[in-house]
A and B are shown apart, each in its own frame.
Chain A
Amino acid sequence: MNNHDVISTDVLIVGGGPSGLATAIELANKLEQKGVKKRIMLLEKGASIGSHILSGAVIRPKVFKDLLTTKEYDGIPFDSKVTTDVTVKLNDHSQMELPFHPPYMSNDGNYIASLAQVCKYLAGIAESKGVEIYTGFAVDDMLYNEEGKVAGVKTKDTGVDHHGEKQKNYQAGTVVEADITVLAEGTRGSLAKKVIERFNLDSGKNPQIYSLGVKEIWSVPEGNIEAGAVYHTFGYPLKDKSEFGGGFIYGLSDNRVALGLVVGLDYADPRFDTHAAMQIWKTHPYVSKFLEGGNIIEFGAKTLPEGGWNSIPKYYEDNLMIVGDSAGFLTTARLKGVHLAVRSGICAARTAMSAFEKGDTGKKTLAEYEERVNKSFIHKEMYPIRNMRAVMQDGMLLGGLKMGVQLVTGGTCLFVPKVHADADETQKLSEYQGVPFKERFSGKLEFDKKLTFDKVTDVFYSKAMHDEHQPVHLVVNHPDEFQLSNIEKYGLSEEAFCPAEVYELHIDKEGHKSLRLHAENCVHCKTCDIKSPNGGITWTTPYGGDGPEYNYM
């Protein structure tokens, strides 16, 4: 690659979420203990650490004790300790509280937190240990050596216009050569996707499947909710069997509420709209009572990998490890990934240390990463419920029953339905037999801009921003096929599923349909990369620093 500045480092970490930061901290600690000097660089596309981080989040804190010293641990800016923990089934207008917790859903000893804030804190610790963190840099390519092995990454070229022409302010991206590259990009990592494909890392595995979470933070009058209160809902407005998911409502300090709806992306209705479903969910009296008299302060959306153990690809190669959501470490039943992200980072860091000691960063040594994971609680938590998401396709009740069987039998289950990639589950307009989303909720799709919001208004509260002078970062892979199939046959399901109104179906006077893209709205949730029929859309990283500007998500 000519004209690119080249820098080199021993370890390069892509992504400043919990997994990447844990890798950095643990490795810095280990290097310090052994008196070895190595350079650790971490690159994050968000303008700052936390800008692109969104989670629930109820966090299991224990793993942080393994990562941090007591003093460091005590400084973690958790928001509140969980005090109340309630799960309710919502019906159309009434609700029923479950007297017990579904297995794996108890939150004793856990904390509610803003993961963005926790990550900011972890970044400070990492920097104090000598880790070099650079924010506002999007990594958009992998680097391979002559043998075809991973050799580092390249940051995105900037100063290129819509049509790909170099402008006067063109700046070639920087090539970063690294002995070990750790991908910690979070859900549906775009580099992870490339290496998984290149090295066939997912062969023999289930396809990864995802959920989309749409979240808001509100400021509410005193007394609406207590800090530390945790409510989970299932049922309304989702349809049992065909739509998997539920809502969460967490009481934060300073009379704030974090709430959201998480929906499995394996639904069939091409018109299903998770953002709209979340708005409708908020109008249920059980939910709206928490928000009364309040106002929204932040909005965001993000997907999470829910395929479970059987969807985890091989997560190492020569000079490469994949950690956190990018590898699919998430306990589906609990909707929890932070502690697994951190644990996988610790495992990867220890493996890197071992590789440096042996002087070998090849896959033979890095295979230790897998051994460490298998010995850790990641395996312990994920393996027994490895079929959970698959059986949940039978609906919450029957699925729940099968889950119970799994728990007893250690995960074996006789009737495990086959898992398909989410995009393949979407049906064409003509095939879909159910009542279309818009009809199901007709009359409920007018948003009052007080309790409920249209997408554009919500996007305003994500502070998403993208420089217009750059190639559109949402790539339509095969424009002709997209027109014929995605638009004509699926009615542009992207318009429905994108929570940020990036995709618009335009119909002119003659009835001609076309796609209009508003890339500047994108909140980097990655749904389109996952759910677009025929793999119609590839999400690529826009310029570093662009995108949402989350604060307390």
Chain B
Amino acid sequence: MTLTIATSLDEVLSAMANGARPIAGGTDLVVGARQGKVTLPADLVAIDRVTELATVATNDGTIRIGAGVTHADLLTNDIVVRQLTSIADAAALVGSPATRNVGTIGGNVMNGSPAMDTGAPLMVLGANAALTTPSGTREVALADLWTGPGQTSANADELCTALVLPQPPQSSGSAYVRLEYRRAMEIAVVGAAAAVTLDGDSISSVKVALTAVAPTIIEVDGLNSLVGSPANDKAFEAIAEAARQQARPISDLRASERYRRHTIGVMARRAAHAASVRASGQTIEVPVNRAFGIGENPENIR
């Protein structure tokens, strides 16, 4: 067993070329190993000290979120909170302060859980994962990255260096909402993210993605028909209906299939509602889950 504590990207990539697995916060990897879900890889390379992975930067219409950015940083980062608000909504819900202080967005994405919280926001915001080896970097759409529960299409020697997103247009907003039984240390029973762009009062684009209702995060199809319609309860209900239709939930000890199918509609509706409110220039504090209180309280919108 070896543990390489890398301080540069090159070190990480060469360790990985030699078969090491990256470990960022370890909040999935180590916890999973201790629970006996997976065995800890023989060779690990710690990437949490690689500062080049831990920045958020804008450049020429794109935003790059370094894979090593922690949830705690995401939820206070100005670019994320202002422009990619749904990611901040999601990061704010992850685990507890301790989890958020070490857990990273790269780890969240590459762990590939269908219950990951940053996944649906990243998807509706059109993120690609930048996967790097010593010979170069390729960008993969998230829909192609996640292939099943805990599975990605990345090769073992590919490091996710960043999540790369187009800068959202004017008059757009996004939101992530999660069903939670308690207010900390929770895991998504279902969740939904929405990104909405408005043209006046009507929708000029809408995307919705769903958490924990299929083997991977999925994007809701067929919402283009809403383009041009007003962003109102009727549109949100149509989104909820599409989410219920397209969800493929299972029954497990957290919830039944029936309850998940119902609540995914509620989450999709709320996410779309909150995203539209934000797109219209009003503020809903991060995270929407807390700002709405419980239920969907419009008094908390200003």
Query: Does A pair with B?
Result: no
A contacts, CB < 8 Å to B:
none
